[in-house]
Chains A and B, each alone.
Chain A
Amino acid sequence: MAWTWVGRRWLWALGLVLVLGALALAVPLTVDRRDEPEPRGTPVNVLLEDFQVERDVAIVPAGTVSLRIRNQGPTSHELIVVRSDLAPDKLPLQSDGLTVNEDGRGVKLLEEAEGLDIDDRKTMVLDLTPGNYVMYCNLEGHYLGGMYAALTAR
């Protein structure tokens, strides 16, 4: 037999070394799995890109809404949802004049999804009462660059 010169013990030792080596190489290649909330209610697909927010529907039934967010990039973005009866392009700004003041007058922060890199996907589940909402990216210059969209719940 071809393996006789190695001997059974050496086969075991070789196998152990190979298994340990495979483990050592496989651990760094594993990908962390994120816990995503299960989509519920009315789904709304929200697409982020430089520098605009697109959604497949503008009016949704009041109640549970799942925003299925996807960032097309090419840069990182975030998505903030506020309830406001102000026009989407008239939200109050911070003192730097570049970002929205989420604590400003006529604005109520509901939820935010930060750190969305290219091709990142995230589901945001909201309980929306009837009213007007604005979705925008509040990174410096993004909102002013036109990266916002309105959403109405009825």
Chain B
Amino acid sequence: MRRSPPAEVGAASATQRKAARGRSGIGRLLPRLPILGDLRLGRRLAWVIVLLIVLVAAILVYNTRAIGQQRGSALVVNLAARQRALVERYTKDVLLVVDGFKADPRDSGEAVRQPVDVLLDGGSVRAPKGDGSRVEIQPVRDWRVRRKLEQDRRLIDELIATGDGLLESGRADPERYAADVTKLRVLTAQLSSVANDAAQEITQQTEASLDRLVRIELGLGLLSALAALAMGLLLRRAGAEQAAQFRSLVNNSSDLITVLAPDGTIAYQSPSVQRVLGRRAADLVGTPLADLVHPDDQHDVDGSLTELVEAAPGATANFACRLQHNEGSWRQVESTCTNLVDDPRVHGLVLNIRDVTEQAALRQSIGDLLHNLARRSQGLVDRQLELIDDLEKHEVDPDRLQGLFRMDHLATRMRRNVENLIVLSGVDQRRRWSEAVPLRDVVEAAVAEVEEYSRVQIAGLHDLTLAGQAASDVAHLLAELVENATTFSSPTTRVEVSGGPTGNGYVLEIEDHGIGMSDAEMAEANRRLAEPLAADVSMSRMMGFHVVGRLAVRHGIRVQLRHCWFGGVTALVLLPAALLGSAGGRPATAPVPAGVAFSPEPLLVANTMKSSWQPRAHLPLRRHAAPAPNRGGDTDAAAEAGDPVE
């Protein structure tokens, strides 16, 4: 029982690896996208997205270039326009100086040269905004504009040379003066023409470039629109495919998918309800679920759903009930319910309901079969025990009497096994007593059913009584746990049974010093104890836990296994206060310090109570004090007791 094999895993991961191999390239990135990954659009959308991104990036780059070119063009045209004024100013300054007026044409001459130098060679010029700031411009690269600017610079050089000659000769030689002045005027006109030509060339090129950019942007925009359209179509198609797939799954599922509104009415019902309950889904929408539930199950269903609504979002709950078929019959169903009230897309409880009517009938048949077989065996074992009892009463030879006692043990064990089968069959036909039974008697009766009862020490129990209807089941439950403790611990160690009150009942502790259990085994055992499954294959392997769990559930008893700090296992059995009574008129449960409850460490009970065990005929007790077991020679008994609970 304590060494279950580890669960095998890996099938799911193999499927995931296979799915991952199916993708390639950019498609592998899709699952990382939170929205698109769910749609499973694959490589098509990936490529469309990449194309869209490239197009948008290209548009941004071209926009940036266009803005830069516009800015540079405005600056260049402005500089060309300024040059005409500078040339004219230079010519005027030269003539003024020649005529004796005070002026300095050298500065204006440099001013004429500087913009052309900047345009040809790059550099810093005063910004056309007129705010005194300077901007850096790149050298002109276009060969047409460069040739014009180079011609411009040659003309400027010629202009300044002519001006210098005029300044030097003055009006001394009238003919030369007239020729130089004419040349100055012609050069000024030519410079103006060339500057205008260069500016016009730049403007035309810029306009052509902008026009080209606009067309390219239009083309890119068109491509982007097409890509966006394609992506939209893909998304729509993928969404439609997914919705159709989901619809198909829901419609063809053998299970019912039901969404309950918070008020308990059906907000959505899958069409499979027609197959399961013979009802149309549309007819059920808006009707309360309770109208379908069997009256005997409504309380449990209401309780489960109410508890789930109050639980955290996403919490789940399981319940079983009967739903009424349209023809009036009842279908046994099991439901897994999820709280999605806070999900705006659902706003309700999602019930996955499975029709288990056939399975339930099969389980009932198996239970009936088990019960019938067990009842027949039980009768035989009871007769066997009576016969052994008679023989023991009349036997005087000690050796033969010891043999009869061993037969008595084995028959008692057989009887408990038979009773296990009856418990597992789901039929409650145990003997019940109307009067309360002292708790100590119940514990001692359980201990007496164990072959190695002599190793069991009852450390101390309070003077309480147990409700008569639960006495047999509790004795059976304790017997299984005590036998488990004696089997999985050394024959030289003792098993201690003690008890103590808690705030909500009374805890019995069965503590052994055995080999213990791993954490995983203990977790699995506690899960079985808390939620005993229906009859299945695993039941035969872990019969003891199933029996204990079922007996506990029958009376609201909680059973839990824990590690002992010195090794071994402690089984805690919490008897609810409703089953307990006071033997001497005292309260059933003594006040306990705050914080002491079922879940904390076991409460060790001081051995202050004197044992008052007296064999009671109305409990399934061994009727004779048996001799100490001979473990060395009793191999059959050891084999029989090798796995008493499992």
Contact = CB atoms under 8 A, between A and B. Distances in A.
B218 A24 contact: yes
B216 A75 contact: no
Interface centre among B150, B192, B194, B200 (most CB of A within 10 A): B194
A6 B230 CA distance: 14
Contacts of A29: 212
Contacts of A98: 185-186, 189
A139 B186 contact: no
B219 A23 contact: yes
Nearest to B219: A24
Contacts of A16: 226
A136 B233 CA distance: 66
Interface string A38-78: 00000000000011000000000000000000000111100
A76 B197 CA distance: 6
B43 interface: yes
A17 B220 CA distance: 11
B215 interface: yes
A2 interface: no
Contacts of B193: 75, 139-142
Nearest to A27: B215
Contacts of A21: 219, 222-223
Interface residues of A, number: 30
Contacts of B187: 141
B227 interface: yes
Given A24-B216, A25-B216, A140-B190, A17 B226 contact: yes
A73 B223 contact: no
B188 interface: yes
Contact of B147 (A25, A28, A73): A73
A1 interface: no
A28 B189 contact: no
B208 to A, nearest CB: 9
Contact of A5 (B43, B191, B219): B43
A148 to B, nearest CB: 13
A24 B223 contact: yes
B73 interface: no
Contacts of B185: 97-98, 141, 144
A20 B147 contact: no
Contacts of A23: 219
Interface string A69-100: 00001111000000000000000000001100
Interface in A1-44: 5-6, 10, 13, 16-17, 20-21, 23-25, 27-29
B43 A118 contact: no
A117 B220 contact: no
A6 B44 contact: yes
B151 interface: yes
A141 B188 contact: yes
Nearest to B218: A24
B201 A117 contact: yes
Nearest to B51: A17
Contacts, number: 87
Contacts of B212: 28-29
Interface in B166-198: 182, 185-194, 197-198
Nearest to A20: B222
B418 to A, nearest CB: 66
Interface of A is mostly: loop
Nearest to B187: A141
B163 to A, nearest CB: 16
A134 B201 CA distance: 28
Given A141-B187, A141-B190, A142-B190, A118 B215 contact: no
Nearest to B221: A24
Given A118-B144, A142-B193, A20 B188 contact: no
B558 interface: no
Nearest to A73: B147
Nearest to B215: A28
Contact of A144 (B144, B189, B215): B189
Contacts of A141: 185-193
B395 interface: no
Given A75-B148, A98-B185, A118-B144, A51 B190 contact: yes
Given A10-B44, A144-B186, A17 B216 contact: no
A27 B182 CA distance: 49
B134 to A, nearest CB: 28
A144 B184 CA distance: 11
Nearest to A16: B226
Contact of B201 (A6, A76, A144): A76
Contacts of A6: 44
B211 interface: yes
Contacts of B192: 140-141
Nearest first, the 8 A-B pairs at minimum CB distance are A24-B219, A141-B189, A74-B147, A141-B190, A28-B215, A140-B189, A28-B212, A144-B186
Given A24-B223, A50-B151, 13 more contacts: A10-B44, A13-B230, A16-B226, A17-B51, A17-B223, A20-B222, A20-B226, A24-B216, A24-B219, A28-B215, A75-B194, A139-B197, A144-B182
Interface of B: 43-44, 51, 144, 147-148, 150-151, 182, 185-194, 197-198, 200-201, 211-212, 215-216, 218-220, 222-223, 226-227, 230
Interface of A: 5-6, 10, 13, 16-17, 20-21, 23-25, 27-29, 50-51, 73-76, 97-98, 117-118, 139-142, 144-145
23 contacts: A10-B44, A17-B226, A20-B222, A21-B223, A24-B222, A24-B223, A25-B219, A27-B215, A28-B212, A28-B216, A51-B190, A73-B144, A73-B147, A73-B148, A73-B151, A75-B148, A75-B151, A76-B148, A76-B200, A97-B185, A118-B144, A140-B189, A144-B185
